[in-house]
Amino acid sequence: MRRDPAAGGNDAGAPTARAPGGEGEPHSRHHDARLGSADKELKAGATAESSAPTALGSPRQREPRVKVMDPAGGPRNLLPRPCRVLVLLNPRGGKGKALQLFRSHVQPLLAQADVSYRLMLTERRNHARELVRTEELARWDALVVMSGDGLMHEVVNGLMERPDWETAIRKPLCSLPAGSGNALAASLNHYAGYEQVTNEDLLNNCTVLLCRRRLAPMNLLSLQMVSGLRVFSVLSLAWGFIADVDIESEKFRRLGEMRFTVGTILRLAALRVYRGRLAYLPVERVVSKVPTSPALDRQDQQGPVDTHLVPLEEPVPAHWTVVPEQDFVLVLALLHSHLGSEMFAAPMGHSAAGAMHLFYVRAGVSRAMLLRLFLAMEKGRHMECDCPYLVYVPVVAFRLEPKDGKGMFAVDGELMVSEAVQGQVHPNYFWMVSGRVEPSPPLEPQQTPPPEGPL
């Protein structure tokens, strides 16, 4: 049984954690005063063994299909050693035990891997967003986000709001799961070849990825709202059933990921239908021609140019697909494999650079079938249910226009106003700690090139 070093005033004893070569082996002791503010700095003094730590979850490593290279054709991208990181931690995320988990599970492994860190605790919504807007990023080799998916959403949008956003977004990021929704961490765990695990096992696996220092480029979803708001997503946009469950289950946050099971059952009991128009640009119809709309020539908005999108007031281009049905149970645009640590939503494989998974379920599906789909999703078997109401297509862009403003949007698990929205994926646009051994090839010549490499 692992002792919780946060239980006492000061950490008087050496914490134990699963370490290279065995479980529960003691690590070097650190003087770690109890945090009384949102800012602490600790220098990890120990040095790791020559071999990398072994993750939990009986990792199953896939063989690389190609030689490991970065997008620019150079050697594999790695964080330096020794490494210095800024850790942004939400102490109220999930079950409210993130700080204890950091001390008992993360800190010992960082000590062995020669990773020093500064720990900053977020105190309110959008606090991390505010912090990274003004942080001197050159001091850090990476930004580590320990919470659920919402905090990573804040960090990426904060970086994209900086005057030096083109440089800032090149700072490598790392996701350590400590929230109730840990879809991004679960996806990275999957890409590394590890078995699907949850809770502390998932946290250990992701910490090991940080200790191994490997970086991979990730897609970024740019979203434009009819109100003029622009938002960047690192994971998903959901409308309808999934968004309802995500947002309405917030009241059960203390249950951890069990909140989504409870929310699903409650929403199934009062299943809703949402009216709206959906259109998308499928992967096979991608063309590199830039639309000639004047709106795309405007440079008053920060961020990459959305070359596949026209203004929301205009019809979608003729080569897009317009879904004839207008009654939906859910619509989901997903960048990664998982929608939660036990929701393997996209078993069809890692999406190509510049592409995302688009799912929608048409009205008419029974409650029994919908429940069957969600139960099968744990193992990625929902596509085998042969549900005639479930549609999947890989796309590079989409437009969704809810009618009467009904239904909720959840972007990376965060509530957004229900309004007309369109989005486009930007390939390999930012860097994350990952076990994935090669970047995904782009679908097309890039009009707006992604960052050349991590800073």
Query: Model confidence over 242-287: pLDDT tens digits?
Result: 877 776 666 666 666 666 667 667 777 778 899 999 999 999 998 7
Q: Pick the closest to residue 99 from 209, 194, 176 (CA basis).
A: 176
23 Cβ contact list (under 8 Å, min separation 6): none
CB 46 within 8 A of CB 112: yes
CB 140 within 8 A of CB 171: yes
Residue of higher predicted confidence among 4 and 242: 242
- CB neighbourhood size of 39 (10 A): 11
According to the model, what pLDDT value does residue 336 have? 96
According to the model, what pLDDT value does residue 13 have? 31
Residue 55 banded pLDDT, cuts 50, 70, 90: very low
Residue of higher predicted confidence among 388 and 60: 388
DSSP state of 292: -
Which tokens sit at 435?
A: 């076990």
**Strand, helix or coil for residue 132:** helix
Percent of the chain with pLDDT over 70: 72
According to the model, what pLDDT value does residue 27 have? 30
Q: What is the C-alpha separation between 320 and 323, in angstroms, rounded?
A: 10
pLDDT for residue 117 is more than 90 = yes
Q: Inter-axis angle of helices 183-191 and 149-160, to 10 degrees?
A: 90
DSSP state of 56: S
pTM over 0.85: no
Q: Pick the closest to residue 145 from 163, 157, 162 (CA basis).
A: 157
pLDDT for residue 189 is more than 90 = yes
Residue of higher predicted confidence among 85 and 415: 85
Q: Pick the closest to residue 397 from 290, 316, 276, 300 (CA basis).
A: 316
DSSP state of 315: P
For the chain, how big is the Rg over CA atoms in Å? Answer: 22
According to the model, what pLDDT value does residue 172 have? 97
Q: What is the C-alpha separation between 422 and 278, in angstroms, rounded?
A: 10
Element containing residue 430 per DSSP (H, E) = strand 421-433
Q: What is the C-alpha separation between 376 and 382, in angstroms, rounded?
A: 5
List helix spans (H) across 56-97. none
Q: What is the C-alpha separation between 442 and 283, in angstroms, rounded?
A: 11
Residue of higher predicted confidence among 43 and 412: 412
Burial of 62 (0-12, 13-18, 19+ CB in 10 A): exposed
Do you know the residue count of the chain? 455
Burial of 73 (0-12, 13-18, 19+ CB in 10 A): exposed
According to the model, what pLDDT value does residue 268 have? 74
Q: What is the C-alpha separation between 179 and 434, in angstroms, rounded?
A: 19
According to the model, what pLDDT value does residue 225 have? 95
- Residues classed as catalytic: 149
CB 440 within 8 A of CB 351: yes
Does residue 442 have a cis bond before it (omega within 30 degrees)?
A: no
User: What's the chain's average pLDDT?
Assistant: 79
According to the model, what pLDDT value does residue 160 have? 98
pLDDT for residue 50 is more than 60 = no
Which tokens sit at 195?
A: 């078995």
CB 276 within 8 A of CB 405: no
**φ and ψ of 187, to 5 deg:** -65, -45
**φ and ψ of 159, to 5 deg:** -65, -40
Query: Model confidence over 298-357: pLDDT tens digits?
Result: 445 689 999 999 999 999 999 999 999 899 999 999 999 999 888 999 998 777 899 999
CB 172 within 8 A of CB 146: no
According to the model, what pLDDT value does residue 429 have? 96
Mean pLDDT computed over 56-65: 36
| Angstrom distances, CA of residue 424 to CA of 179, 282, 309, 352, 416 | 27, 11, 7, 14, 17
278 pairs with which residues across the strands?
A: 400
Q: What is the C-alpha separation between 30 and 347, in angstroms, rounded?
A: 42
- Strands 142-147 and 83-89, by their bridges, are parallel
Task: Name the residue with tokens 């995320």.
Answer: 93
Distance of CA 351 to the CA centre of its chain: 14
